Structure 1
Amino acid sequence: MLICLTASHKNAEFDMLERLSANAETAATRIVDGHDALQGAVVVATCNRFEAYLDLDLDAHSGDSPVPAVHEAIRAVGTVAGLEPDELRTTFGFVHGNAVAGHLFAVASGLESVVIGEGEIAGQVRRSLERARAEGTTTPDLERLFQRASQTSRRVKNETGIGGEGRSLVRLALDLAESRITDWAGTRVLLVGTGRFAGASLAALRDRGASDVRVYSPSGRASRFAANHSIEAVAKADYAAAAASADVIVTCTTVEHHVVDRALIEAGRAELGASGASAAVSAPAAITTVPEPSSTPAARQLVIDLGLPRNVSPDVTLVSGVELLDLETIRIHAPLEELGATDAAREIVGQAARVFGETREELDVAPAVVALRRHVFDILDAEIARAQARGDDDGRTEAALRHMAGVLLHTPMVRSREHARAGEQRAWVDGVAAVFGVTPDAPAASSADAAGERATGGAASA
């Protein structure tokens, strides 16, 4: 049984999402260790979402109720995130059965994001599965679910306009910054971070005409990133001054501490002020020294925080001229979805979810189908052997028997698919057991001799 526990910008406070996301890497392992029925778990954690996709084996370990296993999964998540289980239980949304596929496909396609159609989520979903594989917490059902989610998101992107240019969080943040920026070409930008979001941020900045972009990395990777993207790297010793002189600071790191705060900006401004005064004193009286733009504190600064956990301390807004644009603000200003493209995308998602559900339901009856076919063909082989022993030299009797077996199996096979799609797999499996005495665990035809004995009445007519 597939179940999804979901907390997102729609039902959870940002502080909770931040704590869940910060500890997501160890959550799946804790979940599967928490209860015997929990066979697998894949965790998807993004800026505005934390979801645990669970695969439960209820028949073997929990009877008919998933509640004990789900409670243990929630307790495990609470343990790694430092949150109370009761708080999580009242927050988490609960999706189960075939609805899980529809939910994940919509998430992977960007239909549940802050910005409808944002492109980063598909990669995040894919990497979540890769992490689960590495940790050994995935299962065949979860593999199929996430692989189909990736296929569906690609189809949505290719067949609708919902994932078009300018719909990512990065681009929305820069759209919101437009009212503060008069000319991107003359804007000094400091990029803090060198990961995937940093690359997307740099591309979006360049699309708007920004050319004065420098990069700083808390982990020391700035030089390599700068060389790959033809920009200037900022050394650790120069970071405060660079931060104070930038008109726009964009942060997008995965570190779990603030990389920009009030103390940093004020220290940088003091440093720049001291260096400017020193230059003015040393210059001849007849010469007016004009500092380089990068050495002058910015009068007005916009700090864009795209990190989760937060990269920027809220206290930066206490510094004169500094304004903070964070994920919470971006969420509030997210534009309304484009209805036409969204409707088309949801139709694709719904269709893919139905197909996934039908396929999975057919897999549920597959062992009984195999047992029934084995039962029939064991009988068939026994009757063919009997016919050959009686002199079926031209093979006509064998051909007739094989044709009859195919005809007899046709209707049960059609009914198996019909019952599966109607959610009535158990009725079909029970019917096969009642009529033929066949079950997946103990097929009635255990040998050709036994099959021949059961089919004695048919041998005479053959």
Structure 2
Amino acid sequence: MLLCFSSSHRTADFDLLERLERHAPAITAALSEHSDIVSGSVVLATCNRFEAYLEIDEPLPAARAVSTEAVLDAVSSAAGIDPDTLRAASAVYSDHAVAEHLFAVTSGLESVVVGEGEIAGQVRRALESARAAGSVTSELERVFQVASRTSRGVKNRTGIMSAGRSMVRLALDLAESRVSDWSQTRVLLVGTGKYAGASLAALRDRGATDVRVYSPSGRAPKFARSHDILPVASDGLVDALAESDLVVTCSAVTDYVLTRSVLADALTRPGALERRLVIDLGLPRNVDPAVSELLGVELLDLETITLHAPLKELQAADDARSIVDAAAAEYRARTAEQAVTPALVALRKHVFDVLDAEIDRARGRGDGSEQTEAALRHLAGVLLHTPSVRARELARNGDASAFVDGVAALFGVDVEAEAASRPRLSAVDDESAAS
């Protein structure tokens, strides 16, 4: 059974999301310790959501509630968040609802800025990290691969991705009223990751040319060379702050880069600018919220930016939702078909075992030829085709048990015993064996 623990901008405040993001490694480790329940996991942590996609070894309805509580307790303990607070600020999806939610998330339909383009890459990197950790099961791999294809379909067939703006661009849109001339604005960029690159591109689109970069981890010179801007020395942060009209932070560090005391020190430097705007795009926060108490400092953080997120583009979002709904329906149908796969494999084995036994007897009598054997095997395959098609039809209609019972009644095949005797296959292998 698939299970998804989700806490996002729709259900939680940014303080709680920040705590979850800070403790993501500990939460991932805590989930892996529940190997008696959790057989696989993929953890997605972004600036406005924290989600754990899990495969649970508890298929019975009565056990699902126990599994859900165990997951909530693991997340609560690892993040140091009260269980009741966490429960009130999160949502839990199970079974097919997990796929539908993931498809919508990956397609940008659940983002603060509907249609923003960064989320698909973030989901892909979450899957890659889980693969590296060895925590991806075949079912999690399948649902994430379908999510990726669905996202590409939404991007190619609707206008939602082009209509949607990234969080970076939305933040700079909000900054427009404070900036009279982007070409004359002195900008300090804090951070050197993918978000820093996106921020620099958005700044240049608006005409900003005077941009310098500072890195808490010492990567500023390398980033500056590759992006044709000037680096700030590791001991030059305070002076750079004093000289900057706009500060954009997007670092992955877990501690504040800009504290109240650091910025207060910058304000006292000779020739320091009287006013500056600070945009904090980091999660965890890069900027101490107390800096907004300083005279001449205005702070835009993710929580403030989210409040100004634009209304979605209705037509594009509706078209995208239709694609997501169709993908979710097909995923449900494919998953339902898997319920009859063991019976199809068992039936196919039974038929060909009988055929092989008869061919061996004929060979023992000196009867038959290669052409006859090939014809008999072809006939067996033709005869199995209609039951295979019918089995999948029954499964899609929620009546897989009728086919399983029919195989047992007509051929005396014990599907469960046969499945238990075979090596465990992936979903793809099972489908190939049944075809």
TM-score when scaled to structure 2? Answer: 0.91
Q: 2:116·2:166 contact (CA, 8 Å) conserved in 1?
A: yes
- The code of the aligned residue for 1:313 comes to D
Q: 2:246·2:277 contact (CA, 8 Å) conserved in 1?
A: yes
> Pairwise mapping of residues 11-410 of structure 1 onto structure 2 (< 5 A)?
11-58=11-58, 64-164=62-162, 167-271=165-269, 273=270, 296-387=271-362, 392-393=367-368, 401-402=376-377, 405-410=380-385
Stretch deviating more after TM superposition (201-210 or 363-372): 363-372
Shift in CA distance, 416/206, structure 1 to aligned 2, threshold 3 Å: same
Q: 1:305·1:326 contact (CA, 8 Å) conserved in 2?
A: yes
Match of 1:460 in 2: none
Q: 1:18·1:308 contact (CA, 8 Å) conserved in 2?
A: yes
Q: State the Cα distance separating 1:407 from its structure 2 match.
A: 4.9
Stretch deviating more after TM superposition (12-21 or 86-95): 86-95
Q: State the Cα distance separating 1:203 from its structure 2 match.
A: 0.4
Give the Cα separation in 1 of the matches to 2:182 and 2:174.
Answer: 13
For the residue of structure 2 that corresponds to 1:236, the secondary structure is coil
Shift in CA distance, 213/389, structure 1 to aligned 2, threshold 3 Å: same
Q: State the Cα distance separating 1:264 from its structure 2 match.
A: 1.6
Q: 2:117·2:166 contact (CA, 8 Å) conserved in 1?
A: yes
- The code of the aligned residue for 1:131 comes to S
For the residue of structure 2 that corresponds to 1:94, the secondary structure is strand
Give the Cα separation in 2 of the matches to 1:336 and 1:90.
Answer: 26
For the residue of structure 2 that corresponds to 1:154, the secondary structure is helix
Stretch deviating more after TM superposition (238-247 or 391-400): 391-400
Q: 1:7·1:17 contact (CA, 8 Å) conserved in 2?
A: yes
Give the Cα separation in 2 of the matches to 1:245 and 1:131.
Answer: 39
Match of 1:286 in 2: none
Shift in CA distance, 84/375, structure 1 to aligned 2, threshold 3 Å: same
- The code of the aligned residue for 2:324 comes to V
Q: 1:306·1:326 contact (CA, 8 Å) conserved in 2?
A: yes
Q: 2:168·2:202 contact (CA, 8 Å) conserved in 1?
A: yes
Give the Cα separation in 2 of the matches to 1:166 and 1:148.
Answer: 22
Q: 2:246·2:278 contact (CA, 8 Å) conserved in 1?
A: yes
Shift in CA distance, 84/433, structure 1 to aligned 2, threshold 3 Å: farther
Q: State the Cα distance separating 1:397 from its structure 2 match.
A: 6.7
Give the Cα separation in 2 of the matches to 1:7 and 1:165.
Answer: 25
Match of 2:414 in 1: 439
Q: State the Cα distance separating 1:35 from its structure 2 match.
A: 4.9
- The code of the aligned residue for 2:13 comes to E
Q: 2:192·2:223 contact (CA, 8 Å) conserved in 1?
A: yes
Q: State the Cα distance separating 1:89 from its structure 2 match.
A: 2.4
The CA RMSD over aligned residues, in Å, is 2.2
Stretch deviating more after TM superposition (342-351 or 81-90): 81-90
Q: 1:384·1:397 contact (CA, 8 Å) conserved in 2?
A: no
Q: State the Cα distance separating 1:351 from its structure 2 match.
A: 1.8
Q: 1:191·1:198 contact (CA, 8 Å) conserved in 2?
A: yes
Stretch deviating more after TM superposition (235-244 or 203-212): 235-244
Structure 2 unaligned blocks of 5 or more: 422-435
Shift in CA distance, 130/394, structure 1 to aligned 2, threshold 3 Å: closer
Give % identity.
58
TM-score when scaled to structure 1? Answer: 0.85
Give the Cα separation in 2 of the matches to 1:195 and 1:403.
Answer: 58
Q: State the Cα distance separating 1:396 from its structure 2 match.
A: 8.4
Give the Cα separation in 2 of the matches to 1:315 and 1:443.
Answer: 66
Stretch deviating more after TM superposition (328-337 or 145-154): 145-154
Counting matched residue pairs gives 420
Q: 1:317·1:323 contact (CA, 8 Å) conserved in 2?
A: yes
Structure 1 unaligned blocks of 5 or more: 274-295, 447-462
Asked if residue 4 in structure 1 is aligned to residue 4 in structure 2, the reply is yes
Q: 1:35·1:69 contact (CA, 8 Å) conserved in 2?
A: no
Deviation sequence 1:39-73 (CA, Å, 0-9, x none): 111111111101111101225xx785222222121
Q: State the Cα distance separating 1:269 from its structure 2 match.
A: 2.1
Give the Cα separation in 1 of the matches to 2:369 and 2:196.
Answer: 76
Q: 1:299·1:321 contact (CA, 8 Å) conserved in 2?
A: yes
Q: 1:3·1:97 contact (CA, 8 Å) conserved in 2?
A: yes
Shift in CA distance, 400/199, structure 1 to aligned 2, threshold 3 Å: closer
Q: State the Cα distance separating 1:350 from its structure 2 match.
A: 1.7
**Greater Rg by CA:** 1
Q: State the Cα distance separating 1:429 from its structure 2 match.
A: 2.1
> Pairwise mapping of residues 415-430 of structure 1 onto structure 2 (< 5 A)?
415-430=390-405
Deviation sequence 1:140-194 (CA, Å, 0-9, x none): 1001111221222122112221111761000111011111111100101000111
For the residue of structure 1 that corresponds to 2:340, the secondary structure is helix
Shift in CA distance, 437/269, structure 1 to aligned 2, threshold 3 Å: same
